[in-house]
């Protein structure tokens, strides 16, 4: 089975300039995802999709392929990820005759995601029969709708209506996409559906620490703290 690891890493970023190449514990942010992909036991090929020459150079230095330059119109802030994936799949088919059975989308803003997370997500897709597997993290119980309050006419009222649920064990479990750090989908499904979530979607739950998504300078500092903890004996 051909399983393609696709790392989407465009050059622009509003939150942190040059975010995909910013140094994190002495390494470019992109390098952590490249390393995880190359250490995966399930991915049979890994590429970077980018519009930026410097990002392409770092990707190649990390040992992954950069077979094409992504068109500028697919590197905007509002470009849907499914279109980025379709472009990559189409380019590889047209220029190389390469067709992947599964595609693992690995965003470089998730540096704490490891190879075993990728492999577990692939195994879940195979085992469950899902069209897509997406990594998620459990929402803290005090942040779910049943715990939230809204102010109306100066007084607090339960957002969800009715009496608030106070005991944690009575509250439903909510899951949120964590970036996502890993998204695995079937190529044939991706080609015929409007987005990754239009079919049967299974969630792969990761812990909160591994789910950190880099969006701010504070996230970078927290990632450095967590990485330093991993390196301790």
Could you give the CA distance from residue 130 to residue 204 in angstroms, rounded to a whole number? Answer: 11
What is the structure's pLDDT at 231?
A: 57
Q: Are residues 53 and 148 in the same domain?
A: no
Q: Are residues 179 and 168 in the same domain?
A: no
Q: Are residues 162 and 58 in the same domain?
A: no
49-96, pLDDT tens digit by residue?
999 999 999 999 999 999 999 999 999 988 999 999 999 999 999 999
From the DSSP assignment, how many helices (H) and strands (E) are in the chain? 6, 11
Least confident window among 10-14, 40-44, 159-163:
159-163
Quote the domain boundaries for residue 145.
Answer: 140-173
Token duo for residue 214: 């880099």
Q: Which of 150, 173, 196 is the last residue of a domain?
A: 173
What is the structure's pLDDT at 164?
A: 72
What is the structure's pLDDT at 1?
A: 92
219-228, pLDDT tens digit by residue?
999 999 999 8
What is the structure's pLDDT at 14?
A: 76
Q: Are residues 124 and 34 in the same domain?
A: yes
77-89, pLDDT tens digit by residue?
889 999 999 999 9
What is the structure's pLDDT at 40?
A: 98
Average pLDDT over residues 151-158: 92
What is the structure's pLDDT at 165?
A: 73
Q: Are residues 67 and 168 in the same domain?
A: no
Q: Are residues 121 and 216 in the same domain?
A: yes
Domains of the chain: total: 2
Q: Are residues 22 and 43 in the same domain?
A: yes
Cα-flanking dihedrals φ and ψ of residue 161, to 5°? 85, 155
Q: Are residues 169 and 179 in the same domain?
A: no
What is the structure's pLDDT at 232?
A: 47
Q: Are residues 47 and 154 in the same domain?
A: no
pLDDT band at 146 (very low <50, low <70, confident <90, very high): confident
Q: What is the CATH number of the domain that holds 220?
A: 3.90.550.10
Q: Are residues 35 and 115 in the same domain?
A: yes
Could you give the CA distance from residue 91 to residue 68 in angstroms, rounded to a whole number? Answer: 8
Q: Are residues 42 and 116 in the same domain?
A: yes
pLDDT band at 233 (very low <50, low <70, confident <90, very high): very low
Q: Are residues 66 and 109 in the same domain?
A: yes
Q: Which of 112, 130, 122, 129 is nearest to 227 (CA)?
A: 112
Least confident window among 84-93, 162-171, 191-200:
162-171
Identify whether the C-beta of residue 3 lies closer than 8 Å to the C-beta of residue 46. no
């Amino acid at each position: 089975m051909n399983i393609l690891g696709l790392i989407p890493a465009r050059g622009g970023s509003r939150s942190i300039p040059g975010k995909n190449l910013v140094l994190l514990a002495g390494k470019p942010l992109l390098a952590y995802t490249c390393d995880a992909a190359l250490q995966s036991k399930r991915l049979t090929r890994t590429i970077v999709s980018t519009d930026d020459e410097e990002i392409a150079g770092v990707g190649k230095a990390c040992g992954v392929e950069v077979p094409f330059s992504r068109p500028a119109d697919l590197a905007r802030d509002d470009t849907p990820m499914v279109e980025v994936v379709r472009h990559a799949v189409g380019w590889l088919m047209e220029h190389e005759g390469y067709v992947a059975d599964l595609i693992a989308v690995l965003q470089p803003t998730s540096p704490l995601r490891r190879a075993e997370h990728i492999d577990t997500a692939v195994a879940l897709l195979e085992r469950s029969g899902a069209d897509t597997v997406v990594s998620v993290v459990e929402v803290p119980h005090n942040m779910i709708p049943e715990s939230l309050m809204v102010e109306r006419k100066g007084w607090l009222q339960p957002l969800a209506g009715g009496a608030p649920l106070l005991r944690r064990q009575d509250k439903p479990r909510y899951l949120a996409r964590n970036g996502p750090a890993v998204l695995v989908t079937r190529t044939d499904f991706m080609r015929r559906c409007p987005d990754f979530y239009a079919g049967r979607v299974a969630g792969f739950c990761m812990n909160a620490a591994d789910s950190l998504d880099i969006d701010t300078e504070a996230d970078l500092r927290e990632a450095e703290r967590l990485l330093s903890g991993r390196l301790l004996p």
